[in-house]
C-alpha cells in the first residue's frame, strides 16, 4: 500500500461509496481480462528490499526521514517504522546478465545510502527482524510520520476493537500485547515481482504458493524478537498476528485474516481480486475521480485505483498485482514470503531460485498443484517458518522429506531449467543457484548463522542474551558489507 493518505477519519458515506467503486472496478477488470491487450511479451522482474537503520551500538536508529533527505534518491522510500526504509530496484529482464546488473545496481545504491546515512550516525542492516528490537522501540510514536501509516494503524486497531495479542511459541516463547501495529515494522522483507500473462497467471500463482515453504526454509533470517529465540523465520508469525483485525470471536467464526496464505488453488487472477472484495471490508476507503467504465468505453486504460488500494491492504504472501507501465496494463505475481538479507548475493540467489523454480513448475506438464493439496502447502509453509533448514516438508511422490534433500535432489535442477527458459546466462545461473546448494549442504542460512553466533557469544564470551544479540548484530553488519554469502561467514 504505497499511496499517501490525506485523511485519517472516514465517514459511513465514504465506506459505502468506496465499496460501490471497488465493485465497479472489479466488473471492469473482468471485462479487461476477457479482451484487453495486457503487456506480457517479455516478462519483466522487480525487487523491493525493506531495510533497517541502526546506530553504532546496533540499536534501531529512529531517523528515516532525516536519512531519506540525505540519500535524495527516489528509489528509496519510507516504510512503517522510523527505523525502516525501502529500496525499489528498477524493473528489468533477467535474461543474459540481468542478475549481474541487479547486483551492481543494488550494491551501488546501498553503498551510497550507507555513506549518506553515516551523516546521521546510522547504517543500513539487511535482516528479517532486527535482533536488538525491544517492546519499547515498537510503539505508535515510532511509526513513520507519513499520514498513511497513522491512518492504517487507526483502521486496523479500530477494526479489532481491542489490543493486538502476540503469542509466538518457538524455541522460546513470546507473549505480549500491543495497542498499535508498530510491531509490524520489525518485519523487513524481500519482495519479488514477476510479470505474467493473464492466461498463465493462475499457473504462476499456484506454483508460487506450492514453493513458498521451500523459499522460507532456505532463506529464513529472522530467529529473534524481543530478545527471544522463536521461529527460524519469526517474521511470518509476527506479520500474521501484528495486523490481525479479528478479535477471538471473529476468528472462531472463520473470518479470514488480513495476512493470508489463501485457502485454494485458483484458475484465474480474477479469483483473488474477487475474494478480496467478498471477504475483506475496506480499511482505507479513499475514492478517486476516475469512472473506470467510462475510461474503458473511451478506449483508455482504467487505473482501477480503488481495487488496487484495497488489494494493497490484503496481505497475501503471494499477492496479485494490476499495474500500468508506459500506457499498457500488466499483471504481476508479488512474492512476499522472504526476509531481507543477509547480503545482496544471498538475496539474488533467493531471486534466481524463485524465478527459475516458479517458471519450471508453472510450465510443467503435470502441475504440482494437481498433486499437492492446498492444506499441505500451507502446513509446509508454517513448518518451514518454524524450523528453517531443519524443516521436513510433504512433497508429492516423496512423502515427508527434509527440505535440504528436496532442494538438492529435486528442485535445484528444475530451477536451473526455469532460468534457462528465461535466457539467464549459464554463469549467472550456476553462481546464484550454487549459493542455494551450499546453504543446503552446510545447513546454514541467515537464521542458522544468527543463532550460532549468539550461542558462541553466550557460551564462549560469557555474554548475557542482550549483549550477545548486540554483538551478533554488529558482526552481522560487518560481514554483510563483504557481500560474501552467509553460508561462508565465520561465527566467532
Taking each helix axis from N to C end, the angle separating 374-387 and 234-242, rounded to the nearest 10 degrees, works out to: 110
The pTM of the whole model exceeds 0.85: yes
Predicted local distance difference test score (pLDDT) of residue 170: 97
Contact 306, 25 (CB under 8 A): yes
In angstroms, rounded to a whole number, what is the distance separating the alpha carbons of residues 228 and 1? 30
Give me 348's grid cell.
539474488
Predicted local distance difference test score (pLDDT) of residue 1: 42
Per-residue pLDDT of the chain (492 residues; tens, 9 = 90+): 444 444 457 888 889 999 999 999 999 999 999 988 899 888 999 999 999 999 999 999 999 999 999 999 999 999 999 999 999 999 999 999 999 999 999 999 999 999 999 999 999 999 999 999 999 999 999 999 988 898 889 888 888 889 999 999 999 999 999 999 999 999 999 999 999 999 999 999 999 999 999 999 999 999 999 999 999 999 999 999 999 999 889 999 999 999 999 999 999 999 999 999 999 999 899 999 999 999 999 999 999 999 999 999 999 999 999 999 999 999 999 999 999 999 999 999 999 999 999 999 999 999 999 999 999 999 999 999 999 999 999 999 999 999 999 999 999 999 999 999 999 999 999 999 999 999 999 999 999 999 999 999 999 999 999 999 999 999 999 999 999 999 999 998
Predicted local distance difference test score (pLDDT) of residue 8: 52
In angstroms, rounded to a whole number, what is the distance separating the alpha carbons of residues 132 and 400? 36
Predicted local distance difference test score (pLDDT) of residue 161: 87
Amino acid at each position: 500500500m504505497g499511496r499517501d493518505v490525506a485523511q485519517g477519519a472516514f465517514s459511513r458515506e465514504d465506506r459505502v461509496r468506496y465499496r460501490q467503486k471497488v465493485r465497479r472496478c472489479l466488473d471492469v477488470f473482468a471485462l479487461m481480462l476477457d479482451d484487453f491487450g495486457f503487456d506480457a511479451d517479455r516478462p519483466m522482474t522487480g525487487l523491493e528490499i525493506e531495510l533497517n537503520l541502526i546506530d553504532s551500538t546496533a540499536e534501531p536508529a529512529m531517523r528515516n526521514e532525516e536519512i531519506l533527505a540525505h540519500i535524495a534518491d527516489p528509489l528509496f522510500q519510507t516504510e512503517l517504522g522510523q527505523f525502516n526504509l525501502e529500496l525499489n530496484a528498477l524493473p528489468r529482464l533477467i535474461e543474459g546478465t540481468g542478475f549481474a546488473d541487479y547486483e551492481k545496481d543494488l550494491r551501488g545504491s546501498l553503498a551510497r545510502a550507507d555513506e549518506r546515512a553515516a551523516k546521521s550516525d546510522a547504517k543500513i542492516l539487511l535482516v528479517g527482524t532486527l535482533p536488538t528490537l525491544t517492546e519499547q522501540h515498537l510503539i505508535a510514536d515510532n511509526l513513520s510520520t507519513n499520514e498513511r501509516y497513522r491512518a492504517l494503524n487507526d483502521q486496523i486497531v479500530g477494526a479489532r476493537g481491542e489490543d493486538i495479542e502476540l503469542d509466538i511459541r518457538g524455541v522460546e516463547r513470546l507473549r505480549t500485547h500491543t495497542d498499535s501495529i508498530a510491531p509490524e515494522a520489525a518485519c523487513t522483507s524481500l519482495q519479488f515481482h514477476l510479470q505474467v500473462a493473464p492466461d498463465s497467471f493462475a499457473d504462476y500463482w499456484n506454483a508460487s504458493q506450492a514453493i513458498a515453504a521451500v523459499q522460507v526454509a532456505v532463506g529464513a533470517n529472522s530467529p529473534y524478537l524481543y530478545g527471544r529465540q522463536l521461529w527460524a523465520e519469526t517474521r511470518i508469525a509476527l506479520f500474521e498476528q501484528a495486523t490481525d483485525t479479528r478479535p477471538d470471536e471473529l476468528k472462531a467464526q472463520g473470518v479470514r485474516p488480513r495476512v493470508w496464505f489463501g485457502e485454494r488453488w485458483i484458475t484465474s487472477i480474477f479469483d483473488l481480486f474477487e475474494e478480496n472484495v467478498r471477504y475483506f471490508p475496506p480499511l482505507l476507503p479513499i475514492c478517486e475521480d476516475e469512472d473506470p467504465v467510462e475510461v474503458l468505453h473511451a478506449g483508455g486504460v482504467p487505473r482501477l485505483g480503488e481495487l488496487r488500494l484495497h488489494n494493497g491492504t490484503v496481505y497475501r504472501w503471494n499477492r496479485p498485482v494490476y499495474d500500468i507501465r508506459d500506457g499498457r496494463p500488466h499483471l504481476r505475481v508479488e512474492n512476499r514470503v522472504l526476509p531481507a538479507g543477509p547480503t545482496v548475493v544471498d538475496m539474488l540467489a533467493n531471486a534466481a531460485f524463485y524465478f527459475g523454480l516458479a517458471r519450471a513448475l508453472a510450465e510443467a506438464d503435470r502441475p504440482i498443484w494437481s498433486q499437492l493439496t492446498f492444506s499441505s502447502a500451507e502446513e509446509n509453509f508454517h513448518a518451514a517458518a518454524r524450523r528453517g533448514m531443519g524443516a521436513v516438508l510433504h512433497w508429492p511422490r516423496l512423502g515427508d522429506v527434509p527440505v535440504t534433500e528436496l532442494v538438492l535432489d529435486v528442485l535445484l535442477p528444475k530451477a536451473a531449467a526455469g532460468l534457462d527458459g528465461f535466457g539467464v546466462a549459464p554463469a549467472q545461473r550456476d553462481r546464484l543457484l550454487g549459493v542455494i546448494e551450499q546453504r543446503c549442504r552446510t545447513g546454514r542460512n541467515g537464521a542458522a548463522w544468527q543463532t550460532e553466533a549468539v550461542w558462541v557469544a553466550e557460551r564462549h564470551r560469557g555474554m548475557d542474551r542482550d549483549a550477545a544479540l548486540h554483538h551478533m548484530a554488529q558482526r552481522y553488519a560487518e560481514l554483510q558489507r563483504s557481500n560474501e554469502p552467509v553460508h561462508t561467514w565465520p561465527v566467532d
